Amino acid sequence: MIAVGALLHAKQLSRSPFEIATALIVPVVQATLAVYLFRAGGEPGRLLEAAVGAGLMGVWSSVLFGSGGAIQNQRWQGTLEMIMLAPRPPALVVLPITLATALTGTYAMVATLAWGRLLYGIPLTFAHPLAFAVAVPGCIIGLGMFGLLLASTFVLLRNANALTNTLEYPIWLVSGMLVPITALPGWTGPIAAVLPTTWGARAVREAATGSGPTWPSLGICLAISLACLALGAIMMTHVERRARAAATLALA
Amino acid sequence: MTALLRLIGVGGVIAYRALFNWTTPAMFVGTLLVGPLFQLLFFAYLGRQLGVADDGFYITGNAVLAASLACVFGGTMAVSNERRFGTLGHVLLSPRSRTAVFLGRVLPYAANGLLIAVTTLTAASLLLGLRVPVDALPGLLLTLAVAALACGFFGLTLGAIGLRFRDVWLVSNVSVALLLLLTGVNVPAAGLPAWMRVTGELLPITHAAEAARRLVAGEGFGAAAPPLAAELAIAVGYAVLAATLLKLFEAESRRRASLDTL
């Protein structure tokens, strides 16, 4: 049910020219910016890292905006009541949506890698190709599970959009998607350590560049994501019951 | 003349309140004040780590750029939301000058952008320890105001394009992303290919960022005046382009009966 649901929602998201164009063009602009920054900084050997990092930034943006607005979007489409009426736990109904947002985020990763290869001649020679092939989907599944926690949290907040708009750059920064965590102030370390984005980005980077063992980072990413999934499921059940009791499911 | 100024000023403020309706105080602070500050910090730390330029380069450049988010999207909304809310026809039926109506709408967004840029510059200077010479402050304020105005007219141009093309928000999103790349705010202009530099010179922010950097470096208003004049010329250029496109697309929309087609 999760797989079919994720595929259905991914197809639906992929029907929107706005979503697709934004998912493709904006990360490519960011990848170009990263490439010129790394070149200006005398780090041409790290261009693959820049392209991968920009792709991960795109995945996070997709999860953040997609999952953050998952419930609200269903509400606007008039389908929220129907999916909540399904004889399944609400988390199982919403998880495919958040997984789909992470899946469509892979467009960004594909776009930045293809752009880097075709335009800047960045060799796509991954240090551990097999690990990379596992780490990217692993990271995406992890972020999709984290998305459920976002979706259930944001639905409780009246001004969730404000939080969504604010969280894009901080997570890019703290998770070390382009800026190494060691370059940040020490107090950001504990925040980074509990974010699945940090470990997911690290696993993908380690697989791409060979800077470390991929599997421990990927394992930690998935472990934290599973904890987020459990927490998100509990919150989603609580939110659903509260909305049913107060008859506010359809109200923004 | 008073009536025209009233149309531009009061009309602009009323439209701002009506069309900027998604904003709540929390959203305003989160999206328009905190968001640009984190953007600045992201690039400051990235630049610091790569050794591309010092903090001053990123703080000043990104503070100027901070105005763009509100101004570009605001300018776009000033036109596009009229159509979205079904009131565009009423505006275009008005016997008053539509050029004045629409150009006046940019002013509140530019004021908004100025507030955001000043807040971002102040907060980032305090956080990262940038010292701005006191005698540079009036010039810096003027520079930020001109940058905000230029971005507002740039946004209005995009909004005008929205009268003709459906996906104006896509155009706005991509434009804001391109401003990050092409204006030399984050990558020194010397590090960009010639065509990107030339394109950047035709965009808002590029010259204002240069002027602001000269002022912060203590070079004085005399040194900042040429790029500031260039930014002003860019602002006027986009204002003229926006007015022309609005006129052109209004006539086209009437002819094709596509005014309210979304």
Per-residue confidence (pLDDT) for residue A111, from 0 to 100: 92
Q: Do A179 and B42 touch (CB under 8 A)?
A: yes
B13 within domain boundaries:
yes
Whether B97 contacts B243, CB under 8 Å? no
- Chain A residue at shortest CA distance from B176: A26
CA distances from A188 to A110, A155, A191, B40 (A): 30, 27, 5, 17
- Chain B residue at shortest CA distance from A18: B170
**pTM beyond 0.80, yes or no:** yes
Tens digit of each residue's pLDDT (9 = 90 or more) over A52-103:
999 999 999 988 888 877 887 888 888 888 888 888 888 888 889 889 988 8
CA distance B157 to B72: 9
Tens digit of each residue's pLDDT (9 = 90 or more) over B136-195:
999 999 999 999 999 999 999 998 888 877 778 888 888 999 999 999 999 998 889 999
Taking contacts as CB-CB distances below 8 angstroms, the residues of chain B near A72 are none
Q: Do B177 and A162 touch (CB under 8 A)?
A: no
Per-residue confidence (pLDDT) for residue B78, from 0 to 100: 83
Read off the DSSP letter of residue A221.
Answer: H
Q: Which residue of B31, B52, B173 is in closest CB contact with A166? A: B31
Residue B120 near chain A (CB below 8 Å): no
Read off the DSSP letter of residue A177.
Answer: S
Neighbours of A183 (CB within 10 A): 14
Q: Is the ipTM of this complex over 0.85?
A: yes
- Chain B residue at shortest CA distance from A16: B167
Whether B166 contacts B253, CB under 8 Å? no
Per-residue confidence (pLDDT) for residue A175, from 0 to 100: 93
Per-residue confidence (pLDDT) for residue B212, from 0 to 100: 97
Per-residue confidence (pLDDT) for residue A133, from 0 to 100: 93
Q: Which residues are CB-contacts of B147 (< 8 A; sequence separation ≥ 6)? A: B64, B67, B68, B113, B117, B204, B205, B208, B209, B212, B231
Mean pLDDT score of chain B: 89
Residue in the structure block whose two tokens are 């934004």: A22
How close A92 gets to chain B, by Cα (Å)? 30
Residue B206: band (very low, low, confident or very high) from pLDDT cuts 50, 70, 90: very high
Q: Which residue of B31, B49, B177 is in closest CB contact with A30? A: B177
Average pLDDT over residues B213-217: 95
A interface mutation test: which of B33, B42, B55, B171 has the most A CBs within 10 A? B42
Q: Which residues are CB-contacts of A184 (< 8 A; sequence separation ≥ 6)? A: A173, A174, A176, A192, B45
Residue A20 near chain B (CB below 8 Å): no
Q: Do A40 and B27 touch (CB under 8 A)?
A: no
- State which residues form the domain around B184: 2-256
CA distance A204 to A139: 8
How close B221 gets to chain A, by Cα (Å)? 29
Decide if pLDDT at B22 tops 70. Answer: no
CA distance B33 to B19: 19
Whether B75 contacts B153, CB under 8 Å? yes
Q: Which residue of A25, A180, A183 is in closest CB contact with B174? A: A25
Residue A26 is encoded by which pair of tokens?
Answer: 């904006």
Per-residue confidence (pLDDT) for residue A57, from 0 to 100: 93
Positions in chain A short of pLDDT 50:
none
Per domain, the residue ranges of chain A are 2-246
B261 within domain boundaries:
no
Residue A119 near chain B (CB below 8 Å): no
Residue B165 near chain A (CB below 8 Å): no
Taking contacts as CB-CB distances below 8 angstroms, the residues of chain B near A49 are none
Residue B21 near chain A (CB below 8 Å): no
How close B175 gets to chain A, by Cα (Å)? 9
Q: Which residues are CB-contacts of A42 (< 8 A; sequence separation ≥ 6)? A: B50, B51
Per-residue confidence (pLDDT) for residue B205, from 0 to 100: 96
Per-residue confidence (pLDDT) for residue B153, from 0 to 100: 94
Domain count within chain B: 1
Taking contacts as CB-CB distances below 8 angstroms, the residues of chain A near B165 are none
Decide if pLDDT at B258 tops 80. Answer: no
Sign for the CA dihedral angle at B19, B25, B27, B32 comes to: positive
Q: Do B180 and A33 touch (CB under 8 A)?
A: yes
Per-residue confidence (pLDDT) for residue B164, from 0 to 100: 79
